[in-house]
Copies of this chain bind each other. A is one copy, B any other.
Amino acid sequence: MRIGAIEAGGTKFVCGIGDENGRFEHRISFPTEHPDQTLPRVITYFQDKGVEAMGIGSFGPIDIRQDSPTYGYVTTTPKPGWGNYDLLGTLKQAFPVPFGFDTDVNAAVYGEVKWGAGQGLSSCLYITVGTGVGIGVYSEGQLVHGLVHPEGGHLLTRRHPEDDFVGSCPYHGDCLEGMAAGPAIEARWGKKGHELPVDHRAWKMEAFYIAQSITDAILLLSPQKIILGGGVMQQPQLYPLIREAVLLNLNGYVSSSAILDHMEEYIVSPGLGQQAGLGGALALGLTAWNNRVSSI
């Protein structure tokens, strides 16, 4: 079968056509402009492709409460044209097929659980560290929505003792995103992450902040695996530093062999690589198709 997948990011849209096994036959990507420009491109791409279902993983905040009158909207973003925009409705009008709709990071964790590093698990986190930080949460076999949806990128941090950077989050200053996202690295060190040497002390500090949030997530949710992706995580030296810092933080308190003895398999890179988000959108579309009796 053919399923349409849309990774609706704040910077770029990635669209693809895949099948029920997670394989893509085609992909396309274009910059995110005003929805009046972007949506027609999306619709043109999928037109006459014969997709039987579609899945969207979207930048946010979005409304994912299915019983809400604004279900499927991008809500309070300052991004021109996207505030209070009916993303799902616009696409539904063009394509009368079952739709799955969730946050970009929930899509990513779902893609990883379906076809990536989280296969077979009932609980898993996907943390992306890039231009921003986001955390997708899959728990007890379900994507977590709750009241709005998780916004784990803004978890509070305790400050590294050698760090006097004020933090770059306009809401919280020194939250996780404010201290660890790409722009924070650049503002703190005066260079982009990929311009810093692999043994620069920036990376230990970066690991310190990411590990804190992972520690908190382990304590609050006890996930079976944590998958770390995004542009900043293209620095492979971060993984061992983060694993080490998490073990130090937990100090043996969570008595699980998965954590104590198999940390290299507990905190991992995405099995789908850069395609976790698009693969997740595909998985959301497939699930919508499987549930189509109740969802149309």
Q: Could you tell me which A residues sit within 8 Å of B by CB distance?
A: 61, 75-76, 122-123, 135, 137, 139-140, 142-159, 171-172, 212, 215-217, 219-224, 249-256, 258-259
Contacts and interface: CB of A to CB of B under 8 A. Distances in A.
Query: In the assembly, how many copies of this chain are there?
Result: 2
Contacts of A224: 146-147
B216 A146 contact: no
B249 A156 contact: yes
A158 B287 CA distance: 40
B256 A147 contact: yes
B146 A223 contact: yes
A215 B156 contact: yes
Nearest to A125: B220
B145 A222 contact: yes
A146 B221 contact: yes
A139 B148 contact: no
B258 A147 contact: yes
A253 B171 contact: yes
Nearest to A141: B142
Contact of A219 (B150, B158, B215, B222): B150
Contacts of A258: 147
Q: Which 10 A-B pairs give the minimum distances between C-beta atoms?
A: A146-B222, A158-B158, A123-B146, A171-B253, A140-B142, A152-B220, A147-B222, A76-B255, A147-B224, A171-B251
A220 B156 contact: no
A218 to B, nearest CB: 8
A151 B249 CA distance: 13
Nearest to A174: B158
A18 B252 CA distance: 39
B255 A148 contact: yes
A123 B172 CA distance: 25
15 contacts: A137-B221, A139-B139, A140-B142, A144-B222, A145-B222, A146-B223, A147-B224, A147-B258, A147-B259, A148-B254, A151-B254, A154-B219, A154-B253, A155-B220, A171-B253
